[in-house]
Chain A
Amino acid sequence: NAGVTQTPKFQVLKTGQSMTLQCAQDMNHEYMSWYRQDPGMGLRLIHYSVGAGITDQGEVPNGYNVSRSTTEDFPLRLLSAAPSQTSVYFCASGGQINYEQYFGPGTRLTVT
């Protein structure tokens, strides 16, 4: 049971490039979400999903797209990277009856 995994661990992009951050969980959790954390700040919710085929926006969705075709995977796409998207990105998952959410180790993204 690997929990929540995220790839890559580190990424450097140039302004305007696109990329996909991967997130996978093996706990059969319905709920998955993406957060970003800027230096010295708390986490902010980008997008979330309550099940395969269902996604919704969080607090800071602009510049990001998500889709959820399977229960296990919830990729986050940066359409055209900007320096303001330099951050650490965390993926999380939670089950239907558990209050606890499990977070992945994060992806550290730098946009130059």
Chain B
Amino acid sequence: DAKTTQPPSMDCAEGRAANLPCNHSTISGNEYVYWYRQIHSQGPQYIIHGLKNNETNEMASLIITEDRKSSTLILPHATLRDTAVYYCIVSPHISSGSARQLTFGSGTQLTVLP
């Protein structure tokens, strides 16, 4: 069973905000939302994670709805180097034995256009 649903592809103009949605309607109370990205067959790169509050770091912002059934990753000023496949993953708290076992879906191919 897929735990997350993401659109297969999205385009974004360079310099504009990229908003990548993720549906995780079956998320349980102890599960976090993680985002990773994979640039052109390189190893995946961690972006951000959150439980229920909105989070921001130097790379992106994560907005999680109040019911926690969906979230949006925001890249505030997309550049050509942000072209990648973005994966939304739900996983238990780090103290759980299964927390590290990431389940990758197909992700969203984000293409940033010049």
Contact = CB atoms under 8 A, between A and B. Distances in A.
Interface of A: 4, 31, 33, 35, 40-45, 48, 50, 58-59, 88, 90, 92, 94, 97-106
24 contacts: A4-B43, A31-B100, A35-B104, A40-B106, A42-B87, A42-B104, A42-B105, A42-B107, A43-B102, A43-B104, A45-B101, A45-B102, A48-B101, A59-B103, A88-B41, A90-B44, A92-B43, A98-B94, A99-B46, A99-B49, A101-B100, A103-B43, A106-B41, A106-B42
Q: Is the interface of B mostly helix, strand, loop or mixed?
A: loop
Interface residues of B, number: 20
A58 B44 CA distance: 18
A90 B43 contact: yes
A105 B38 CA distance: 11
Interface of B: 32, 34, 41-46, 49, 87, 94, 97, 100-107
Contacts of A92: 43-44
B106 A42 contact: yes
Nearest to A3: B43
Contact of B100 (A33, A40, A106): A33
A59 B1 CA distance: 13
Contacts of A99: 32, 34, 46, 49, 94
Nearest to B49: A99
Contact of A105 (B32, B43, B106): B43
